[in-house]
Structure 1
């Protein structure tokens, strides 16, 4: 069954060092950095599966890449989580995202998972998303998959695109993602 919902929106206020999540909860951010036209964010989380997250928002590629720091008792194969999203960085101090439903997840061993295409279709049928945004989501998803397949990893493809992702600490399970 599809979890039908309006587009999730998020705000990243660099000056205030806050991140307003899709539920409207304002969360403190430990670190913001703008590099190569992309925004890096790191903050703690009160989620039962992970305690910290680091994200890169890359507007030209319509993607937010997140490394979830899972709790010690959680051992997923997941490495990086990509939200396909429209990112507005026109105000350099306050970036916003509109999640376009589709997600791409990389896993140890090279497995790639595409999630929520059913949500995208249902949201389109229900009028939560327009045809232009749905096409944008599908084009971005295809570009991500093609990039990973052509360059062997997400980070390998992004490096070819001019985005050298850096994380606060070495990625223990996703060094080659």
Structure 2
């Protein structure tokens, strides 16, 4: 069974609106887009990389703001710090890839390394962080985390900002203030 299929199966076993379900679905999307970038050329490769870039920038920002602090509070401070460090490394690599462009030989040399780093990070979250959250956080709280995750994703930057990775204040500083306030209020009012 592929990682994508496995992620989707595990996600379907959780209640709708559970933050772990949402994250597993996103991990499946990340893995699928990585495969598409690796196996495509020309405009299809460029589009897949653009989609991956946006998904990763939004996903990692939202995790840093809405998920990792909860992990840290519930006994995973070292884990949360390690995950944030991994995310910073991946975002730096993503920014370099974005800078050289998909048509560059450097992109083709670096992307497999980036893909491995992303896969290792995703596996660490799924192996350590998700079980911690499932055992320590009740379903209602995980549902609220999913709402916060979604609200954060609405305002998250869509380009990698390596200098802000791992820092909630710096992540928030990369977003237009009025946009943050309006979008978060709108998202929270709908939840």
Q: Relative contact order, CA 8 A, sep 6+: which one is greater?
A: 2
State TM-score, norm by structure 1: 0.31
Structure with greater proportional helix content: 2
Structure with greater proportional strand content: 1
State TM-score, norm by structure 2: 0.29
